[in-house]
């Protein structure tokens, strides 16, 4: 898989377009870096078992 910065940025721009967002060229590196950080957190979370589902009780 191509994980070059250009590819990552183009994926970010496509995703942004899907939700109606415009990202300025000045913001693009920061948005791309931040999304990579969040995807890294998601990797740490992993894939927990699906039960009991997306509910929350304190």
Partner 1 sequence: MTSVPTGAATSAVALASRVRSGQLSAVETVSAALAAIADRDGEINSVTDTYPQRSIEEARRVDAAVAAGAELGPLAGVPFVVKNLFDVAGSRTRAGSVIELDRPAASADATAVRRMREAGAVVVASTNMDEYAHGFTTENAHDGTTRNPRDLQRIAGGSSGGSAAAVARGIVPLALGSDTNGSIRVPASLCGTFGLKPTYGRVSRAGSTLFATSLDHVGPLAATVADLAAAYDAVAGFDPADPVSSKHPCQPCTPVLEQDADGLRVALAGGHFEDVADDDAREALARAARSLGVDRQVEVDLSRQACAAASVITSAEAGQRHLRQLQTRADDYDPAVRPALIAGALLPAADYLAAQRLRAAYRAVTHALFEDTDVLLTATTPCCAPLVGQRTMQVQGEALLVGMSLGLLTQPWSLVGLPALTVPLTGRGGLPIGVQLVAAPFREASLFRVAAALERSGLTIPLGALCA
Which of 6, 47 has the CB closer to partner 1? 47
Judged on CB neighbours under 10 Å (0-12, 13-18, 19+), 12 is buried
Q: Does 58 bind partner 1 (CB under 8 A)?
A: yes
Shortest reach from residue 4's CB to partner 1, in Å: 19
**Residue reference for tokens 């721009």:** 13
Report if residue 5 touches partner 1, rule: CB under 8 A: no
Place of tokens 């967002």: 21
- Kindly state the smallest distance separating residue 13's Cβ from partner 1, in Å: 10
């Amino acid at each position: 898989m191509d994980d070059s910065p250009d590819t990552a940025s183009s994926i970010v721009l496509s995703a942004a377009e899907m939700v109606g967002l415009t990202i300025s060229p000045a913001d693009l590196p920061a948005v791309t870096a931040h999304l990579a950080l969040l995807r890294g957190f998601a990797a740490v979370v992993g894939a927990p078992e699906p039960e009991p589902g997306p509910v929350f009780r304190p």
